[in-house]
Structure 1
């Protein structure tokens, strides 16, 4: 009997061991559903419809908030909350068919009335939308019925659909709009959980997400904010973060070569690094001075010193990724001798001194240091004033326009039109440029638009309202098992709906 009991006990122990092994094996085989993603800059708020910094959209766009249309990983405009649209032959009426059965995270229904209220809010007289100008051509917005939205324009706006895909144009709920800065509520695949300021933003999967064509694999997402490049690297190596889609230490990229767990990716972006000048302030109000400074800068040396050789020189406010790109780096190539001669012609034979307000971001600080050395060779003294970004920079430069020169990476795609905005921090005025940009919007076909985009590029390359330096690539480092992250960046973002773990 004792032997029989002992045999049963042994069988039970063996069965338990096998069950534990099976459970362990199953757990090991199940792909992860959590993600910790790193970002260099923490956004000051979480509502992209009331503030411009790209970090807001990098957390919320396509994760929490969605628009009538969207931009995919290839830079193409795709339907989103609007399933389709029709444009009248004269280009003045856009009729959108909206999806039914869509709700916001708080239960509010998405309808044409809600979409109308969202667009009217963005274009209102008291609107603080960072791209309010997008809606200047809108005459009326009508909710024809619950699933039909009609936008009527005062004049053609060839880029309207593209603009409607941007973070600043996302559709917000009428009930939640006022609180989106701190507790964002959208229609997207992830729901806001909490924001531990100075550290992280946490999201969770939206179980009621309307788009059944997308199978969202991630259950939880944590955005970690780590500004120091060395700390970014350490967080990746330790596994505290799984991915840094915009890694801030180009000099450390090679340190991941051969890593068994981590991979590096170099992709395209719209990040145009330019040193903007206050064109209304002496000596930058003199075109010859601006041209001379452009010739004093060796863009290849700047890219090597500022971003470890990662980058593409540009000669205008345009990237090689964009349609109708013209390589204008040869308009004012590096030529210190000609730069000194042109400065003398402009009345500065002994150079001059000025201050550059450089945002406290690694690329800006490093670029400023290389520029300082190059300008010294032509007798120009550049004093570097580190400036906290975004708050102080926005206050002094972007809004106050109280500066000589600054440096920043302009991240908005196809944003060459910023030089025709009034006011804008460059304080640049050129009627010929304004006309070219206006003709882009008034031209319905892409080929016709491209002609004016090229004309606009050439005007800027000759006039040099800013020193056009280089396009920053997207330097990504992430776990090899992680799939679905965007390698290129046609618009600043961290789109996570299609991201998943392979094991």
Structure 2
């Protein structure tokens, strides 16, 4: 277990991450809105029902969570100083009145929106902003978002009752978009003893356009429009009810005729039937991926040749064709092929069973038996038989152990021994820039590096130093090249690396909602939705 990270926090980090959602663009900040502009709509008092294919029982603490459900919900409940368009990720002022005039400056000053209040009616102040950033930057408090801020952000201070100044260690314009990850939370609520534990369990008090009215883990979370909200994204729905339905069949059934207007994580096999029922179904390609992670303290997976052999053995074309029904691509980089920083990695694991056998022989490995511990996300489970068949074909006797996602990460948190983990991930839910994506999965104190027992490896230490230099590089093109070089190291080592990038499908009723299109990361965003 990483120092200072309580197990309940850590289990939440990747719980049910890897969904695909629907989002809303902000006018003037990028592509056409993914959900049309709201403003009351024609639904009157009708409750919008959304079906989410992931659990709502992960952490709800915005500084800790990577849960697809709670991250999406928190975007409706909380605001950052700056938030981002959910597709282009272009920043726009949320609680702040305006963006800094010069993103390359090392001091950013923000004034807070006049009249902004939290859901309990108390005003939002500069002290609340400082309270959250103090937690994020505190060396003694390990949060998920710390790694996205600590390398470049030195401090945050109040300069008045409704104004703050951020002091940067060096120019870092990419940080402006990351401010959406520091949701402003009321000090008077979350500064109480034990309140952060309550946040993990579902306590949510923000300044966003919706407020939480009910939360039932493993069942549903309910929202209503917040009458005190005076920001730019006026709520269109008087009430919303988000259902957590992890199993595919009941989730699809609820969408196909039981009153839901939108559902994510639609199985590929059901796309045609839902379209025949008059529903719109679409996906978006991005960083969503199936990855394999090796325990480098468990022989022979400490040998890079063994890790490479097992990766070369996987028939990724068949996996995409059979398990994903064409809705994916074999990984040719840590980044997906549509990413603006994408470059084909120097090591690409095309299906090559002869090379796989040769690598195992070179490593002196015979009669290898491997157990794959996997999450039970439906599309991941669909991929497992192809991986097993591929490994069996090169003489590696393979067993599959799919289980509840929380069970997998509980075992990882408890430092139990394992050989290989197969799971879903989508760093893109936090942001688009390649530096952020890399730091999500790699770093000396990174959760995932700890799971893989890799942080002390000499190659890993060199990688982390190179990543730090890339973060500080002021020239954008040089920075891009440096990050690509780091990705080449990650690809060659194959410790934690994607097998395929895929799209997950979202369905909605075009007779009730308008302007929808898919976004390439988990959850749904209904901040600009409206009834037809």
TM-score of the pair, normalised by structure 1: 0.86
Question: Could you tell me whether the CA contact under 8 Å between 2:290 and 2:424 is conserved in 1?
Answer: yes
Sort the Cα spacing of 1:239 and 1:74 in 2 relative to 1 into closer, same or farther, 3 A: farther
Residues 396 and 342 of structure 1: CA distance in aligned 2, closer, same or farther (over 3 Å): same
Corresponding position of 1:79: 93
Instruction: Kindly report which structure 2 residues correspond to 1:175-254, keeping only aligned pairs within 5 A, or say none.
Output: 175-177=188-190, 178=195, 179-180=198-199, 181-211=201-231, 213-247=232-266, 249-254=267-272
1:181-202 Cα offsets, whole Å, 9 max, x none, are 4331111111110013332111
- Number of the residue aligned with 1:499: 529
Structure 1 residue 160 corresponds to structure 2 residue 175: yes
The question of 1:487 aligning with 2:487 is answered: no
Q: Where in structure 2 are the equivalents of 1:144-155 lying within 5 Å?
A: 144-154=159-169
User: Which residue does 1:365 correspond to in 2?
Assistant: 381
Matched ranges for 1:435-446 at <5 A: 435-446=465-476
- Of the structure 1 ranges 177-186 and 370-379, higher mean CA displacement relative to structure 2 is found in 177-186
Q: Indicate the residue corresponding to 1:10 in structure 2.
A: none
- Contact map agreement 1:474 1:488 (CA 8 A) in 2: no
Q: CA deviation at 1:416?
A: 1.8
Secondary structure at 2:260 match in 1: coil
Residue matched to 1:422: 445
Match of 1:104 in 2: 118
Question: Partner of 2:115: helix, strand, or coil?
Answer: coil
| CA displacement at 1:398 relative to structure 2 | 5.1
Distance between the aligned counterparts of 1:483 and 1:421, measured in 2?
Answer: 45
Secondary structure of the equivalent of 1:209?
coil
1:286 shift after superposition:
0.7
1:396 is the counterpart of 2:422: no
Question: Which region of structure 1 is more displaced relative to structure 2, 286-295 or 139-148?
Answer: 139-148
Moved more, 225-234 or 93-102: 93-102
Cross-structure match for 1:269: 286
Compute the displacement of 1:98 (Å): 2.5
Q: Does structure 1 residue 114 correspond to structure 2 residue 132?
A: no
Kindly indicate whether the alpha-carbon contact (under 8 Å) linking 1:68 and 1:80 is maintained by their aligned counterparts in 2. yes
Please name the residue that 1:60 is paired with.
74
Give the conservation status (yes or no) of the 8 Å contact 2:347–2:488: no
Deviation at 1:371, TM superposition (A): 0.6
- Find out whether 1:464 has 2:480 as its counterpart: no
> Would you identify which runs of 4 or more consecutive aligned residues in structure 1 move more than 3 Å?
29-33, 85-92, 153-159
Which fold has the larger relative contact order, with Cα–Cα distance below 8 Å and residues 6 or more apart in sequence? 2
Task: Please point out which of 273, 278, 283 is paired with 1:255.
Answer: 273
* Contact 1:485–1:495 (CA under 8 A) maintained in structure 2: no
Q: CA-atom RMSD, angstroms?
A: 2.4
The verdict on how the C-alpha distance between 1:251 and 1:328 changes in structure 2, with shifts beyond 3 A counting, is farther
Contact residue 368 and residue 395 of structure 2 kept, 8 A: yes
Q: Is the 8 A contact 1:266 1:476 kept in 2?
A: yes
> What is the alpha-carbon distance in structure 2 between the residues aligned to residue 445 and residue 64 of structure 1?
36
C-alpha displacement at 1:128, in angstroms? 4.6
C-alpha change, 1:90 and 1:203, in structure 2 (3 Å) is closer
Native 8 Å contact 2:79 2:183 kept in 1: yes
Mapped pair 1:34 → 2:47: yes
How far, CA to CA, are the matches of 1:275 and 1:473 in structure 2?
Answer: 18
From the superposition, tell whether residues 87 and 456 of structure 1 become closer, same or farther in structure 2 (CA, over 3 Å): farther
Q: Answer with 89-98 or 217-226: which moved more.
A: 89-98
8 A contact 1:351–1:378 mirrored in 2: no
Match 1:447 to one of 459, 477, 496: 477
Give a deviation string over 1:302-333, Cα, whole Å, max 9, x none: 12333222112213321123221013397331
Paired residue for 2:423? 408
Residues 178-228 of structure 1: CA distance to partner in whole angstroms, max 9, x if unpaired?
Answer: 2434331111111110013332111001122122x4342211110011111
| TM-score normalised over the length of structure 2 | 0.82
Question: Is the Cα–Cα contact under 8 Å of residues 201 and 224 in structure 1 kept in the other structure?
Answer: yes
Contact 2:290 2:498 (C-alpha < 8 Å) held by counterparts = yes
1:270 match: secondary structure: coil
Query: For the Cα contact (< 8 Å) 1:216–1:498, is it kept in 2?
Result: yes
Alpha-carbon shift at residue 269 of structure 1 (Å): 3.4
Question: Counterpart of 2:360?
Answer: 343
Q: CA deviation at 1:154?
A: 4.1
Within 2, Cα distance between the matches of 1:330 and 1:121? 39
- Pairwise CA distance, 1:124: 2.4
